Chain A
Amino acid sequence: MPTPLVVSEVAKSFVMHLRDGIKLPVVENVNFSVAAGECAVLGGPSGIGKSSILKMLYGNYGVDAGQILITHNDVTVDIAGADPRTVLNIRRDVIGYVSQFLRTVPRVAAVDVVAEPLLARGIKSDVARTRAIELLEKLNLPEHLWQLPPTTFSGGEQQRVNIARGFITNHPLLLLDEPTASLDAENRAVVVQLIREKKASGTALLGIFHDQDVRSAVADRIIDVSMFRAGREAA
């Protein structure tokens, strides 16, 4: 079985055209891979580029150089150069992502937000909703919230909806951007359990966890992002 994720020589910088074209280097020469059933954690201080790396892997940020290789339908695909349609297919089938904040859509109920990734994969609506409810129950989201749009939910409630949405599929690769940041101890423990289940089922996980306890509970390996720090250069 091929390695689910191989990142090689990836570089990223931002050019701020509205600030006289100043160039903000983020990372360069990023090299690592994540194996099936492994949870690797991106480590290092805030602002070092951890979230940017996750966003590049998800196709949300452009990539200046290098390759991000994943396997889709038994074919190796480089996300760094993939067209939008391919990236969307990869998100549907291969890469799951739990972002720091839930982007809510007006009028869509929490249970439907969670079920959507399954529907996109062609799973029947009642099956997807049942699975969504199981996850929301597991994450202790009160039942009276299930049919409401998450727009008015608290940060912790929104985050649990977000986690449920990310964990509902069996994508071979799952990216986690501080999924436990706004959760209490009880729900952090639930997330740790969910991550362990994913590992046991062979999912490759790559995450950012500032919470020391969660990190030591799930991490197989820490990837020190400060190794990839880009040199400062004049614009």
Chain B
Amino acid sequence: MNEQPLLRVNSMTKYYGSRIGCRDVSFELWPGEVLAIVGESGSGKTTLLNNISTRLTPTSGTVEYRMRDGQFRDLYRMGEAERRFLMRTDWGFVHQNPADGLRMTVSAGANVGERLMAIGDRHYGDIRNTATRWLGRVEIDADRVDDQPRDFSGGMRQRLQIARNLVTGPRLVFMDEPTGGLDVSVQARLLDLVRSLVNDLGLSAIVVTHDLAVARLLSHRMMVMKDGYVIEQGLTDRVLDDPREPYTQLLVSSILQV
């Protein structure tokens, strides 16, 4: 049953005026697969992510997604309402800054519960129980369920954002520098959490990161971007241990050894 990809990206190109955002990117993402997009700032990785996730409109190219009924649909030919429903239920988007993905002035429980209500849950007690269970899964104590995320630490906010995204059982999660602003020790905890959730739930994910260690830990496959182009791709450990392209070699050789 896993014989078809979940997502097909064909010749994705995005121009900002005359400047290249990303150029002619094609790939397939399979169920259960985690793809890392790496590259330095301005290489086009976030542009690519936003184009695939329909947060931006590409200049040309198509993105096809296999819906739960097994049919592929072109995301840019869908109605706005249908696309929004998809994003609220079958997809997750984890932002680098949790404030972009959370509502900072409603409670943690409501942040998680809101996504459940979007898929039609109406029973307050059930929603609260599910929300509390998910807080536990991301290692937030149940007695914080009524607190607002603005009272949370950066690491907790990021974990809450993950709970909010995963509560609806999405099949595809986009992550933009998920460990970006966090301390190293907090990063390790978050990475382990993401890794085990992705494994347990069989999620597919596309993770944008400039941190090759994050890519190594989380992803099966990697694409290296430079100046809007994918310059090298392959199995994550192959790209990192036997980089072929000059730029990839530079990236890998620039990692500080601890």
A153: interface (CB < 8 Å): no
B249 touching A17, Cβ below 8 Å: yes
Interface residues of B in 77-118 (CB under 8 A from A): none
Chain B hits for A87, CB < 8 A: 235, 238
Binds A, one of B120-128, B164-172, B188-196: B188-196
Residue of B nearest to A21 (CB): B246
B244: interface (CB < 8 Å): yes
Interface residues of A in 87-108 (CB under 8 A from B): 87-88, 105-108
Q: Mark A58-83, 1 if CB is under 8 A from B, else 0.
A: 01111000000000000000000000
B192 touching A106, Cβ below 8 Å: yes
A60 touching B237, Cβ below 8 Å: yes
CB within 8 Å for A60 and B241 given contacts A105-B195, A106-B188: yes
A60 touching B192, Cβ below 8 Å: no
With A and B bound together, what is the CA distance between A16 and B30 in angstroms?
Answer: 33
A84 touching B221, Cβ below 8 Å: yes
B40: interface (CB < 8 Å): no
Interface size for B (C-beta < 8 A) is 22
A106 touching B235, Cβ below 8 Å: no
Q: Is the interface of B mostly helix, strand, loop or mixed?
A: helix
A221: interface (CB < 8 Å): no
Chain B hits for A16, CB < 8 A: 249
Interface residues of B in 201-258 (CB under 8 A from A): 217, 220-221, 234-235, 237-238, 241-242, 244-246, 249-250, 253
Chain A hits for B221, CB < 8 A: 84-85
Chain B hits for A234, CB < 8 A: none
A61 touching B188, Cβ below 8 Å: no
Minimum CB–CB distance from A87 to chain B (whole Å) comes to 6
Minimum CB–CB distance from A56 to chain B (whole Å) comes to 9
B64: interface (CB < 8 Å): no
A1: interface (CB < 8 Å): no
Chain B hits for A235, CB < 8 A: none
Which listed residue, A15, A55, A108, touches B192 by the CB 8 Å rule? A108
Minimum CB–CB distance from A124 to chain B (whole Å) comes to 14
A59 touching B249, Cβ below 8 Å: no
With A and B bound together, what is the CA distance between A15 and B189 in angstroms?
Answer: 37
Residue of B nearest to A12 (CB): B242
With A and B bound together, what is the CA distance between A179 and B221 in angstroms?
Answer: 27
With A and B bound together, what is the CA distance between A17 and B235 in angstroms?
Answer: 21
Q: Identify the A interface with B (CB < 8 A).
A: 14-18, 55, 59-62, 84-85, 87-88, 105-108
19 contacts between A and B (CB under 8 A): A15-B244, A17-B246, A18-B249, A18-B250, A59-B235, A59-B238, A60-B237, A61-B242, A84-B221, A84-B234, A84-B238, A85-B30, A85-B220, A88-B220, A105-B217, A106-B191, A107-B189, A107-B192, A108-B192
